[in-house]
Amino acid sequence: MSSVHWTSHALNGGALRRVDLDSGTNGWASPPGDLFLLRSTNYFTKRQKTPAGDYLLSPAGMDWLKSPSKLENVLGRADNRVGQALRQAQAQGKSLKSFLFAVNLQIPGKEYHSAVFYFYTEEPVQSGSLLGRFIEGDEAFRNQRFKLVNRIVKGPWIVKKAVGNYSACLLGRALTCNYHRGPNYLEIDVDIGSSAIANAILRLALGYVTTVTIDMGFVVEAQTEDDLPERLIGAVRVSQMDMSAATLVDAPNAPRGNKVNHLSANDE
């Protein structure tokens, strides 16, 4: 379909390439949703979880960035390659309903790094759906619902022990999350440095990063019967990444967006 041609550059244009799911290294891939177990339709009565199935949104690539200071609202930057690709398509009258969803994991250090994961839909997200309520909701709602589910696919024992082979975390409760809502996107900036525990675990994992393959899925947590079953917004497999592969970008003042700071230490 010509209407989705803009995604070709988004999927293949970053410093970290799209690689084979099972054998790829120093890149990213899209793991099957069924590798993740999420809350089923009878979760609140029987506590059952079931394979997640298809993503709600389609993958639109990954960026691995570094900068002298923390990168915020990357989709609001004129030089963001994924946002550029969509804007160019829309300037030609294509993909006018497309919506981007991005998660920006901000990693502190001598140089700041950002792992940014992009997902998209060509049609508007249904307003009454759980994802629609999350996109349009206030920061308190988002902080109570934004969940990361991850699994270590490959890696040394010490990393599996620290991270957990399979774990879930309500990021909005455990870390500071800033939300940036644009005309056709929502970006969630997750400040890893806002939690001493998360920062320590990440430092450990980064020490072994070239030997670690991890699956990360993003979910709006179901907290009532009406929300069930849970669905994956999207997921990504990061395979044995080389830290030096990061693209250097400058860090001008980011465009102002709606954002909130929230921090507590409750993990799910």
The answer to whether the CB of 38 falls within 8 A of the CB of 203 is no
**Domain contains 253:** no
Alpha-carbon span 180 to 176, nearest angstrom = 13
**Domain contains 265:** no
Alpha-carbon span 175 to 23, nearest angstrom = 32
Q: Which of 177, 192, 168, 183 is nearest to 138 (CA)?
A: 177
Write the DSSP assignment of 82-144 as a string of letters: HHHHHHHHHHTT-STT-EEEEEEEEE-SSSEEEEEEEEEESSPPPTTSHHHHHHHS-HHHHHH
**Domain contains 225:** yes
Domain encompassing residue 141: 2-248
> Which residue matches tokens 């990954």?
62
Amino acid occupying residue 124 = P
Q: Give pLDDT, residue 199.
A: 82
Query: In the numeric block, which tokens belong to residue 166?
Result: 């399979």
**Domain contains 260:** no
**Domain contains 95:** yes
Q: Give pLDDT, residue 253.
A: 52
> Which residue matches tokens 């963001």?
80
| pLDDT, block means (10 residues), the chain with 268 residues | 68 90 94 96 96 96 94 95 93 93 94 95 92 96 96 89 81 94 95 87 83 94 96 96 90 48 36
Q: Give pLDDT, residue 202.
A: 82
**Domain contains 259:** no
Into how many domains does the chain fold?
1
**Domain contains 266:** no
Q: Give pLDDT, residue 263.
A: 33
**Domain contains 49:** yes
